[in-house]
Amino acid sequence: MAKSRKISAGMLLFRRIGGKLEIFLAHPGGPFWTRQEEGTWTIPKGVIEEGEEPLDAAKREFREETGIEPVPPFVPLGSIRQKAGKTVHAWAWEGDADAGTIISNFMRIEWPRGSGRWQTYPEVDRCAWFDPAGAREKINAAQAELIDRLEALLDN
């Protein structure tokens, strides 16, 4: 697959505790996202590199953004299209993780934009577990469909 900033792949980690479903989400790092909560959280995801299979990209991005190694089996959730036009291919996997100990890779951005000053920030500044309703409030609106698909698969 050719590299495109408009095509990403990601993984939705979930767990079941006492029969209740919980969803693991990531909050983007950097100054733009500091005070934003609702609609900004995401599944760990990123751009598919040229020649990389989407599932391999999803696993790599999850590992880079959280420090957590995804463990199969991986359940395909299909793809969604975000408001800005980005397509995200996603897979779910069941596991557990300590959201308070994530280790993210870093990104370098110009901040403030147009200032000529380049700064380094973690790509993900924190992760947390949410029940499905809470996850839908926090997650990028288009990605909420992935939670719906996961629940439908688990119900069957």
> Residue 2 pLDDT > 60, yes or no?
no
| Mean of all residue pLDDT scores within the chain | 93
How many structural domains are present in the chain? 1
- 119 or 128, higher pLDDT: 128
Q: How far apart are CA 148 and CA 113, in angstroms?
A: 36
Torsion angles phi and psi, residue 38, rounded to 5: -65, 130
Contact 127, 27 (CB under 8 A): yes
pLDDT in tens, 6-26: 999 999 999 999 999 999 999
Name the residue range of residue 113's domain: 7-155
Q: Is 65 within a domain?
A: yes
Helices (H), the chain: 54-66, 132-138, 144-155
pLDDT in tens, 62-87: 999 999 999 999 999 999 999 999 99
Q: How far apart are CA 36 and CA 61, in angstroms?
A: 22
Q: Is the pTM of this model over 0.75?
A: yes
Listed residue (25, 96, 82, 93) closest to 55, CA to CA: 93
Mean pLDDT of 53-57: 98
Q: Strand pairing partners for 45?
A: 10
Q: Is 2 within a domain?
A: no
Q: Is 1 within a domain?
A: no
Output the domain CATH number for residue 92: 3.90.79.10
Q: At 37, is the pLDDT very low, low, confident or very high (cuts 50, 70, 90)?
A: confident
